[in-house]
Chains A and B, each alone.
Chain A
Amino acid sequence: MLVLLIIFMVAAPMLQRGVEVNLPVARSAQRMSEERLYVTVPASYRDTGNVYIDDEAIPRDVLAERVRQRMLSREQKEVFLRGDGTVQLQELMQVMDRLKDGGIERVGIVAMPAERTRGGR
Chain B
Amino acid sequence: MTLFERVHGWRATRRPGYVALVTALAAGISGALWAQQPPASQPPPSQPSSVELRITGEPGTPPRLAVPDLIALSPDKETLEAATLIGQVLWDDLNYEREFYMIPRDTYRSIPSPKSLGDVSFARWRELGSDGLVLGTVQKVADGIRVELRLFNVRAQQHTFGREYIGSVANPRLYAHTMADEIHDSQRSLKGVARTKLTFSSDRNRDPVANTVERRDVKEIYIADYDGANPRRITINRNLNITPNWSPDGRSIAYTSYRRTLPDVLISNIFVGTLEEPTKGIGQNFLPVFSPDGRQLAFMSTRDGNSEIYIANRDGSDLRRLTDNPAIDSTPTWSPTGTQVAFTSDRSGTPQIYVVGVDGTGLRRLTFESYADRATWSPAPYNEIAFASRTGPGFDIKILSLADGLVRQITFGEGTNESPAWSPNGRHMAFMSTRAGRSQIFTVDRDGRNIRQITHDGNNFTPNWSR
Binding site for B on A (CB under 8 A): 58-59, 61-62, 64-66, 69, 72-73
- Which of chain A's residues have a CB closer than 8 A to the CB of B129? 62, 65-66, 69
Question: What's the Cα separation between A47 and B127 when bound, in Å?
Answer: 18
Q: Give the interface segment out of B103-111, B163-171, B405-413, B415-423.
A: B103-111
B428 at the interface (CB under 8 A from A): no
**Per-residue A-contact encoding for B72-115, CB less than 8 Å = 1, 0 else:** 00000000000000000000000000000101100101100000
Identify the closest chain B residue to A61 (Cβ): B110
B contact residues, total (Cβ < 8 Å): 12
**A58-B127, A59-B110, A59-B127 known; A65-B103 Cβ under 8 A:** yes
Question: What's the Cα separation between A65 and B61 when bound, in Å?
Answer: 15
Question: What's the Cα separation between A75 and B109 when bound, in Å?
Answer: 29
B209 at the interface (CB under 8 A from A): no
The majority secondary structure among interface residues of chain A is helix
- Which of chain B's residues have a CB closer than 8 A to the CB of A66? 127-129
B64 at the interface (CB under 8 A from A): yes
Binding site for A on B (CB under 8 A): 60-61, 64, 101, 103-104, 107, 109-110, 127-129
Whether B101 pairs with A65 at a CB distance below 8 angstroms is no
Identify the closest chain B residue to A53 (Cβ): B129
Whether A73 pairs with B60 at a CB distance below 8 angstroms is yes
Whether A62 pairs with B64 at a CB distance below 8 angstroms is no
**A62-B107, A64-B107 known; A69-B101 Cβ under 8 A:** yes
Give A34 Cβ to nearest chain B Cβ, in Å.
13
Give A45 Cβ to nearest chain B Cβ, in Å.
16
- Which of chain B's residues have a CB closer than 8 A to the CB of A69? 61, 64, 101, 103, 129
Give B21 Cβ to nearest chain A Cβ, in Å.
50
Give B235 Cβ to nearest chain A Cβ, in Å.
45
Given known contacts A64-B107, A65-B104, what 14 new A-B pairs fall within 8 Å (CB)? A58-B127, A59-B110, A61-B109, A62-B129, A65-B107, A65-B128, A65-B129, A66-B128, A66-B129, A69-B64, A69-B103, A72-B101, A73-B60, A73-B61
